[in-house]
Amino acid sequence: MTLLIIDGNNMAHRVRHVFSLTNPDGTDVSVTYGFMHNIKALFNKFHPTACIVAWDGGIPRFRREVVPSYKANRTRDDEDDYANFIRQLQELATVALPSAGILNVRRRAMEADDIMYQAAFMAYMAFYEEVIIVSGDEDMFQVITMEDVYVYHPGKKAIIDEDYIEKECGVSVKDYVHWRALQGDTSDNIKGVPGIGPKRATEYFQKYKSLSGIINAAHGANPRGEISGKIGQNIRDFGIENLAKNVKVMALWADRTGARLAIIEELEYYQTANVKALKDYLFGNVFISLMEPDLYKNVRVLEEPRLCTTPLRTPVICEQRFPIEE
């Protein structure tokens, strides 16, 4: 069995800048069409037996407490454009994707990255043969420490595995978060050590073998050598405490007990395609090119639909309204 886990926000923003379409009544459908177009391509490529789309539910408090500037650089678009974008996300989450048998998951104050990491961990524990996460966010490269869990990067059109990390980054997967913590992340407004980018970080990891080895070298306490001059001073000034904060903020979080986000169990209740509703939706929006026979029909967990008679432990996105707030 193959589980496909999709970064909903990442994909929505990607298609937002690629497609420009309206339906017959003049309503903008660029995001909804582009998203379903990509879903179709992914289903044809990977033939999943189940699919989850994860959505951001806001920034966890612990990350802001550790690094107050975390994602503080994010700004909202023009209000009308933003409202149009949110409307299309809501349409995807409440109509199009559920009709395709796709479980949408969003948890308040939980980022999509963490939801995907949690889902991958639970699928790994549930003995899925393969888990593929679709995301252009390089934070997700952390998940490939689990066996048979991979990342498909849509921009690179490549499967990211341990060999890819070692070839492109020059470090092992276990050192990946520390490698990034040294550099920081401008997109998330996380400061790193000044003067250290990917190339220099790789050079130091290959020579000093670990983040602690690099710190020791900057203090002249590593038998492998010393990091002197301006860069050594920058590392000392940045400090162990700030490096530790970067690691804590960048590392993905998962509840190892599964109590907080029982995603795999919920697949049994909600992952059943309603092919007629999906085709009605696609036809109504003139998404004719997406109407391949039985394309979405095989994405199901149960032979027959089953209703959940107990309250949801994890709210699915169709029970919540956008916009997403902290």
With DSSP H G I counted as helix, E B as strand and the rest as coil, what are the percentages for the chain, rounded to 5?
50, 10, 40
pLDDT given at position 97: 87
Q: Where do the domains of the chain lie, and which CATH numbers do they carry?
A: 2-161+261-319 (3.40.50.1010), 169-250 (1.10.150.20)
pLDDT given at position 258: 55
Residue among 282, 284, 286 nearest 273 (CA): 282
86: left (phi over 0), alpha (psi -120 to 50) or beta: alpha
pLDDT given at position 134: 98
Cα 295 from Cα 60, distance rounded (Å): 37
CA 209 to chain centre: 28
From residue 316, give the alpha-carbon distance in Å to each of 35, 93, 98, 102, 311.
Answer: 19, 9, 10, 11, 11
pLDDT given at position 236: 97
Beta-strand (E) ranges in 139-249?
Answer: 149-153, 158-160, 184-185, 190-191
pLDDT by residue for the chain (326 residues), tens only, comes to 889 999 999 999 999 989 889 888 889 999 999 999 999 999 999 988 888 999 998 888 899 999 999 998 887 767 888 899 999 999 998 888 888 888 888 888 889 999 999 888 888 877 788 999 999 999 999 999 888 999 999 999 999 999 999 999 999 999 999 999 999 999 999 999 999 999 999 999 999 999 999 999 999 999 999 999 999 999 999 999 999 999 999 999 876 655 555 666 666 555 566 777 777 888 888 787 887 766 666 554 333 333 333 333 333 333 333 443 33
Kindly report the length of the chain. Answer: 326
pLDDT tens figures, 131-177: 999 999 999 999 998 889 999 999 999 999 999 999 999 999 999 99
Burial class (CB in 10 A: 0-12, 13-18, 19+), 93: buried
pLDDT given at position 230: 97
CB-CB contact of 36 with 102 (8 Å): no
* Helix/strand/coil for 182: helix
